[in-house]
Amino acid sequence: MNTNGASTSTGVGSVDQTAPRRNSKRPKYSKFTQQELPACKPILTPQWVIGAFVLVGIIFIPIGVASLLASRDVVEIVYRYETDCVPERFKTDKLAYIQNDSLDKTCNRSLTVPKHMKQPIYVYYQLDNFYQNHRRYVKSRNDAQLRDRKKQNETSGCDPEDRSNGSPIVPCGLIAWSLFNDTYSFSRNNKPLNVNKKGISWKSDRDHKFGDDVYPKNFQNGTLVGGGKLDPNKPLSEQEDLIVWMRTAALPTFRKLYGKIEVDLQANEQITVVLKNNYNTYRFNGKKKLVLSTTTWLGGKNDFLGIAYLTIGALCFFLALAFIVVYLVKPRCVFYLKSLYSIN
């Protein structure tokens, strides 16, 4: 008998201790991976469900009523003028009218104040069917150029409004090029109403996005003028009409702040408005509106928030009532969770 061979042989099913151990994909044990962390597991009894719905209804309905009343307290004057401010002979060809620079675009209108309007009264312009959220339009700007004078020659991303006669445009891009340029002036009893245009833009935009040492250069000097012009002697951080315009809107119908009237307007007063109808919205069938609005603790006029709270509150009350009826008509025996684990 060969004892050496017997001592080195291994039987069927034996484990070779010298063989490398196979890596396991099992994660390291922890209460987190095994979902054994302490947790609250409430049983939703009919009483709890009904009580929760009633509580939500009690909270939401008063908030909805308060929001709706606040929205209704806002006084607004909305006047659409892109059609009314076109002379009769150009009614059939509005595009020719707006593109003719030799024509006077002044338009005088009288507005009646429906209710007492407390200061400050915010003056907005509203545009409809203007897609500021178009991808190419939104990207057509250079933020570094707007912030830093040393980078005023950077015009990447501003195509096609990046250069004029070989020199860089400041500010460049389609957004700045299409700056809104209608103007409004107001008077009451033949006395002018001052429109304060200071502080109409976001302070963070003035301080961080538009430099106080960056000045307009070669702006609107091309053959095709898109909109308003800028004062070359004022830095961009002080040109608040531009700052407001360049905060692009997400929807095709939007309002932008034009200024503030800082006196009260009494009910039934007549306000004379002198409009300069310069901005071309006729090419894309856009609408232009002048809006005068007050505000409340909730902001401007917006019924949606109040209606949403009222709808959810009413729905919760309806569901609570439905659960009460079901519970009374066909009650169901509910076992506590501990009884399910009573068997060891």
Query: What single string gives the DSSP state of each residue in 87-98?
Result: -GGGTT-HHHHH
What is the model's pTM? Answer: 0.80
Q: Are 301 and 117 in contact (CB under 8 A)?
A: no
Distance CA 75, CA 266 (A): 11
Question: pLDDT by residue (tens digit) across 88-115?
Answer: 889 889 999 998 888 999 999 999 999 9
Task: Tell which wins on pLDDT, 197 or 42.
Answer: 197
Distance CA 341, CA 282 (A): 74
Q: Are 235 and 212 in contact (CB under 8 A)?
A: yes
pLDDT of residue 316: 96
pLDDT of residue 6: 46
pLDDT of residue 46: 83
- Give burial (CB, 10 Å; 0-12/13-18/19+) of 76: middle
Question: pLDDT by residue (tens digit) across 110-151?
Answer: 999 999 999 999 999 999 999 999 999 999 999 999 999 888
Question: pLDDT by residue (tens digit) across 25-62?
Answer: 777 788 887 888 888 777 778 888 899 999 999 999 99
225 pLDDT band (50/70/90 cuts)?
confident
Range of weakest confidence among 26-35, 46-55, 229-238, 334-343: 334-343
In the predicted model, what is the mean pLDDT of residues 256-281?
94
Distance CA 222, CA 216 (A): 14
Distance of CA 153 to the CA centre of its chain: 31
Q: Residues of the chain with pLDDT > 90: what percent?
A: 65
Count of beta carbons in the 10 Å neighbourhood of residue 169:
25
Element counts in the chain: helices (H) and strands (E): 10, 11
Distance CA 127, CA 107 (A): 18
In the predicted model, what is the mean pLDDT of residues 167-195?
93
Distance CA 23, CA 279 (A): 71
pLDDT of residue 11: 47
**The residue to which tokens 């957004």 are assigned:** 175
pLDDT of residue 335: 54
pLDDT of 334 > 60? The answer is no
